[in-house]
A and B are shown apart, each in its own frame.
Chain A
Amino acid sequence: MTGVLLRAAHVTRRFGAFTAVDDVSMGVEPGEVVGLLGANGAGKTTLIRMLLGLIAVTSGRVDLLGGPPDRQRRRRLGYVPQGLGLYGDLTVRENLSFSARAYGTAEPVLSPALRGYADVLVRELPLGAQRQVAFLAALAHAPDVLVLDEPTSGVDVLARAALWDTIRAQAERGAGVLVTTHYMQEAQQCDRLLLMSDGRLVGEGSEADIIGSTTAVAVRTGDWARAFAALAAAGAPVMLAGRAIRVANADPAELAEVLRAAGIEASLQPVPATIEERMLVLSRQAKAS
């Protein structure tokens, strides 16, 4: 496969007076894993629903595999929703055979980890195993495009590493993968990131590109509890990292003044910001406007 598998060009979606997605352009190419980040209400789910052809665009254009996302093209898509989309009252084998028939493919072979669960009802499985079943169901027809909503939420680190192995294997055989995640270490597994805020695409590229000009200050003090309270009372976007306090997009001089007024001795040091801090700054800007 060559060319862009999944593309949005100047896509906007309104619900009444509310603009959920505002002039977003993006694409996913074969062999790449793209991470879609954003707070709740940023427009991620609406964008994905348009890309999948589940809701119409208000304006702009969506292409799935070179054309509109109709039934025929959706056959070449694999989708794992956050709720997994499995039938809890069916067994693992029944679920897989249902989805295989829906896509007109052969039933997938159970992985060694799932073999013991073949005849167990899905709702009785541990969450990690349920996720593996949802992956198997979505991958059995070797889709060209894979869309995953929070793929590893709630599973342990080994299961997470195994699921990422599966995701990577799909990209390596040429599929394009779009992943939404709230998990920053998961974002670091992606080849490229997209950041949405308030319906718009506000960042694209590597982790450094996403963080952009956001800065952070680390405050170290023997009296972290009082320093934390003083900075929070002054309205600073404070976070705790161990016993150090982090403040996003702050002026060190102003922080020093707040601490001095409270009689707290502290050392202040500029540090690289995180993706989370970038998102915190964006959400504060959105609220202020």
Chain B
Amino acid sequence: MTYSVRSATVRFGSTVALDDVTVEVPAGSVVAVVGGDGAGKSTLLRALAGEVALDAGLAEAPPRQRLGYLPASSGSWAALTVTQNIDFVAGIYGLAGDELAARRAELLERASLTPAAGRLAAQLSGGMRRKLGFIMAIVHRPALLILDEPSTGVDPVSRIDLWRLASEAAASGAAVLMSTTYLDEAERAAHLVVLDSGRVLVQGSYDQVRAGFAGVVTRADQPVRAEWAWRRGRILHEYWPVGDPPAGTTAVAPDLEDIVIALSLARRNAVPS
């Protein structure tokens, strides 16, 4: 089973939040959507979750009871305990009794939250709260799991827990679509989608994105053209979309960060301001 949005366009007033975007999420895979604030990540996820109507295009998702969705806001009730939060959501899906107790215990263990089961959600750290939200999104074993920035602002160890949980969901057959601002996280996904101002800048596996990248990235202390350069530590990188870079420059093997910046610059610099 593959879920998808096809040629999806979403407008909010005069703002085009999503512009002719096609993304497929096959069962058993993690698809990562990357992009900054305002790139359209949440709109894409909400369009597939049926939370926002498309102005054009198609969204193909399972029925509501087979869908798990973790919104960008915390997604749990602060005044309930961890256990109460899980039980409340599980009840909506008709999970109760021994079956619920077993499922809850299993998920708490996998998320390293067992010691916090009796704590109020308000008293959890940011990382623990996101893991609770994750459990609540997956408690009913959804066919499609949609996670909106599960790891933003979360410490690296909890991020690894969240990534492991998402991988496990995919390994047991779910289609997983998650958004992230962390490019290193996107590199790990089977398929990554880079959004910029509502449009797909590039998508594919990390290897495909690297192989499809045209042009040369060079390193220098002083850039030749400032509008094509960006900072990497103490040095600068510069992008040459067509043709050879001038003699005396040193080419580097671009990583995903370089590729995303280079493609963003190519798009920006092509538009007359």
A binds B: yes
Q: Is B240 an interface residue (CB 8 A)?
A: no
List chain B residues, Cβ under 8 A from A155: 36-37, 181
Question: Do residues B231 and A154 form an inter-chain contact, with CB atoms below 8 A?
Answer: no
Asked whether, in the complex, the Cβ of B157 is within 8 Å of the Cβ of A228, the reply is: no
Q: Is the CB of A56 closer than 8 A to any CB of chain B?
A: no
Known A154-B181, A225-B172, A238-B164; judge A40-B37 contact (CB<8 A).
no
**A160 neighbours in B (Cβ, 8 Å):** 36
| Interchain CB contact under 8 A, A279 and B157 | yes
Q: Is B89 an interface residue (CB 8 A)?
A: no
Residues on the A chain within 8 Å of B28, using CB: 225
Please measure, in the bound complex, the distance between the C-alpha atom of A257 and the C-alpha atom of B26, giving whole angstroms.
31
Q: How many residues of B contact A (CB 8 A)?
A: 49
Contact in complex: A240, B163 (CB < 8 Å) = yes
Check if A232 is an interface residue, CB within 8 A of chain B.
Answer: yes
CA of A26 to CA of B171 in the docked complex: distance in angstroms? Answer: 43
Residues of B within 8 A of A209 (CB): none
Chain B 26-74 interface residues, beta-carbon cutoff 8 Å to A: 28, 30, 35-39
From B154, B157, B268, give the contact of A158 (CB < 8 A): B268
Q: Which of A9-17, A134-142, A183-191 contacts B (4 or more CB under 8 A)?
A: A183-191
Asked if B232 is at the interface (CB within 8 A of a chain A CB), the reply is: yes
Complex partner residue of B125 from A40, A159, A228, CB under 8 angstroms: A40
Contact indicator A157/B164 (Cβ below 8 Å): no
B205 located at the interface, meaning its Cβ lies under 8 Å from any Cβ of chain A in the complex: yes
B156: interface (CB < 8 Å) = yes
B4 within 8 A of A: no
- Contact B172–A276 (Cβ < 8 Å): no
Neighbour of A242 across the interface among B35, B38, B190, CB < 8 A: B190
Which A residues are in CB contact (< 8 Å) with B127? 40
* Contact mask for chain A residues 137-159; partner B; CB cutoff 8 A; 1 contact, 0 none: 00000000000001001111111
Shortest CB distance B195–A (Å): 9
Select which of A157, A164, A165, A241 is within 8 A of B36 by beta carbon. A157
Are A239 and B157 within 8 A (Cβ)?
no
Specify which chain A residues have a CB less than 8 angstroms from the CB of B171 in the assembled complex.
Answer: 224-226, 228-229
A232 touches B164 (CB 8 A): yes
Q: Which residue of B lies closest to A243 (CB)?
A: B190
* Contact across chains for A126 and B188 when beta carbons are under 8 A apart: no
B184–A240 CB distance below 8 A: no
Q: Within the complex, which residue of B153, B183, B265 is in contact with A185, where a contact is CB–CB below 8 Å?
A: B183
Closest to B125 in A: A40
The answer to whether A150 touches B153 (Cβ under 8 A) is yes
Top 10 closest pairs, chain A to chain B, by CB = A156-B36, A225-B171, A161-B230, A40-B155, A240-B167, A127-B37, A39-B157, A283-B157, A39-B155, A164-B231
Give residues in A with beta carbon < 8 Å to B. Answer: 37-42, 82, 126-128, 150, 153-161, 164-165, 168, 182-185, 188-191, 224-226, 228-229, 232, 237-243, 275-276, 279-280, 283
Where the two chains meet, the residues of B that have a C-beta atom closer than 8 Å to any C-beta of A are 28, 30, 35-39, 125-127, 152-160, 163-164, 167-168, 170-172, 181-184, 187-190, 196, 205-207, 230-234, 257, 260-261, 264-265, 268
* A–B complex contacts, Cβ < 8 Å, 19 sampled: A155-B181, A156-B264, A157-B36, A157-B257, A157-B260, A158-B268, A168-B234, A182-B153, A182-B154, A182-B155, A182-B156, A185-B182, A185-B257, A191-B234, A240-B30, A240-B188, A242-B189, A276-B159, A283-B157
Question: Can you name 13 extra interface pairs (CB under 8 A) apart from A229-B168, A240-B188?
Answer: A40-B125, A128-B36, A157-B183, A164-B231, A185-B257, A191-B234, A228-B167, A237-B160, A239-B164, A239-B188, A241-B187, A276-B159, A280-B157
